[in-house]
Amino acid sequence: MLDQIRQSLDSIAAKHRTRVLRAVEMRSDGRLLHDGRELLDLSSNDYLGLSQHPLLVKRSGEYLRRFGAGAGASRLITGTSAQHLAIEDKVAAFKRSEAALLFATGWQANAAVIPALAKAAKGTAIFADRLVHNSVHAGCRAAQAEVHFFDHNDYDHLHALLQDHREAPARLIITESVFSMDGDRADLPRLNTLAAQHDAMLYVDEAHATGVLGAGGAGLTADHPGAQIVMGTFSKALGGFGAYVACPQLVRDYLVNMCAGLIFTTAPPPAVLGAMDAALELVPGMDAERAHLAALGEQLRKGLQQLGYDTLDSTTQVIPLVVGPEAEAMALGEHLLDNGIAALPIRPPTVPKGTSRIRFALRSTLGAPDVEQVLAAVASWRKA
């Protein structure tokens, strides 16, 4: 087997797709330390800078000291504490849902909840946007269901697929509200209408919208309610770790009984819950930070477009600079590093072939001069 593993790695290297792990240290001011160098950080998803916020650090420490380092068991054994239930109530209030359920990570939530939902009705048809995250693909693969991918944000295509499969016993539509690699948005009003028309359940992954968009930072589903299942993470704008599904009580009860990724895994530990608690307290009051982040996004997008680059349909804090070939994206990433900027290249299979890019992820702790620095570095690459 080791021979095949080596061959597999060789073939990844031949396509210039080798990935390596780098050690970095996050700083509180939108910078990070890498190899002894301080770099401007435009790669992390810590959109509000909460990972270093004193309240998250303090409450996480308090929970750790009061309740210990681990949860000790899965939720259905002895792993459910009063703190888990309290956070779930707070998530439900934040998302205006009837109930919520915590998961270890966002990846695990999507990979586990989708097959569990599909199990409720044999022959469920799933309709997912082609650009959904790897974890949704994993969930779809694990589901014993027919899976149909519609072209990205193409709701005529989705409508046609729903028509073609109207005989299926149940239908589940899956999208992200903000797409992780393109930074564009789903049209939730249109999806709500389609779901209602075709008697489908709508599942929205709000990983990149939670904390950043929607009233009080509660995501785009807060402004356009209708989705029955809303998944979100604590690992991005909420600065910590873990994920949730906000849903009707009926669905929560069902998942507690049927979702293997909840039942057969240890419950999230106290320190993680402490950070969640603090983030849920802070985020609704961070409108000024959200407005600043939106302004930084406008500045960067406009600047990149003026330099002649394609930023796709981004309207958020995630801004792709598409260069196309993988080698070119790698070269631009290196050039940015040389200019003190960590904005790492994203290549296939994470994004479609021929759309390798730098994915800029902005953060409210950055300022307009930081964005100017990025634009100057990009401009000098063209000239190099």
Ligand X SMILES: Cc1ncc(COP(=O)(O)O)c(C=O)c1O
Q: Which of 208, 224, 289, 326 is the catalytic position? A: 208
Residues in Cβ contact with 7 at an 8 Å cutoff, skipping those fewer than 6 apart: none
Q: Using the rule CB under 6 A, which residue among 48, 202, 207, 351 binds ligand X? A: 207
133 binds ligand X (CB under 6 A): yes
Residue 135 CB, shortest distance to ligand X, in Å, is: 5
Q: Say which of 235, 236, 277, 326 is annotated catalytic.
A: 236
Total number of residues shown for the chain: 384
Query: Which is nearer to ligand X, 186 or 329 (by Cβ)?
Result: 186
Q: Candidates 107, 127, 155, 244: give the one binding ligand X (CB under 6 A).
A: 107
Residue 105 makes contact with ligand X by CB under 6 A? yes
Characterize the bridge pairing of strands 99-103 and 125-129: unpaired
Choosing from 41, 176, 277, 370, the residue that interacts with ligand X (CB under 6 A) is 176
**Ramachandran sector of residue 153 (left: φ over 0; alpha: ψ -120 to 50; beta: rest):** left
236 classed as catalytic: yes
Distance from first CA to last CA of the chain, Å, rounded? 44
Rg (the chain; Cα; Å) = 21
Active-site residue, 192 included = no
Residue 69: how many other CB atoms lie within 10 Å: 10
What gap in Å lies between CA 118 and CA 120, rounded to an integer? 5
Q: Determine which residue in the list 83, 124, 135, 315 makes contact with ligand X, applying CB under 6 A.
A: 135
In this chain, which residue has its C-beta nearest to ligand X?
106
Judged by CB, which is closer to ligand X: 268, or 303? 268
- Closest approach, Cβ 59 to ligand X, in A, equals 19
Query: Quick check: 336 binds ligand X (CB under 6 A)?
Result: no
**47 contributes a contact to ligand X by CB under 6 A:** no
Candidates 32-40, 106-114, 258-266, 308-316; binding stretch for ligand X (CB under 6 A) = 106-114
Q: Is 335 a catalytic residue?
A: no
Determine the distance from the C-alpha atom of residue 129 to the mean position of all C-alpha atoms in its chain, rounded to a whole number. Answer: 15
The b-or-e profile of 254-286 (16+ CB within 10 A means b, else e) is: bbeebbebbbebebbbbbbbbbbbbbbebbeeb
Closest CB 263 distance from ligand X, rounded Å: 19
Name the token pair of 217.
């930072």
205 binds ligand X (CB under 6 A): yes
Q: Of these, 233, 311, 315, 317, which contacts ligand X (CB under 6 A)?
A: 233
Which lies closer to ligand X via its Cβ, residue 178 or residue 371?
Answer: 178
The single residue of 84, 133, 137, 152 carrying the catalytic annotation is 133
Distance CA 113, CA 252 (A): 10
Whether residue 223 contacts residue 209, with contact meaning beta carbons closer than 8 Å, is answered with no
The two structure tokens encoding residue 108: 């695990």
Which of the residues are catalytic? Answer: 45, 133, 176, 180, 205, 208, 236
Q: Kindly list the residues in this chain that would bind ligand X in the complex (CB under 6 A).
A: 105-107, 110, 133, 135, 176, 180, 205, 207-208, 233, 235, 243
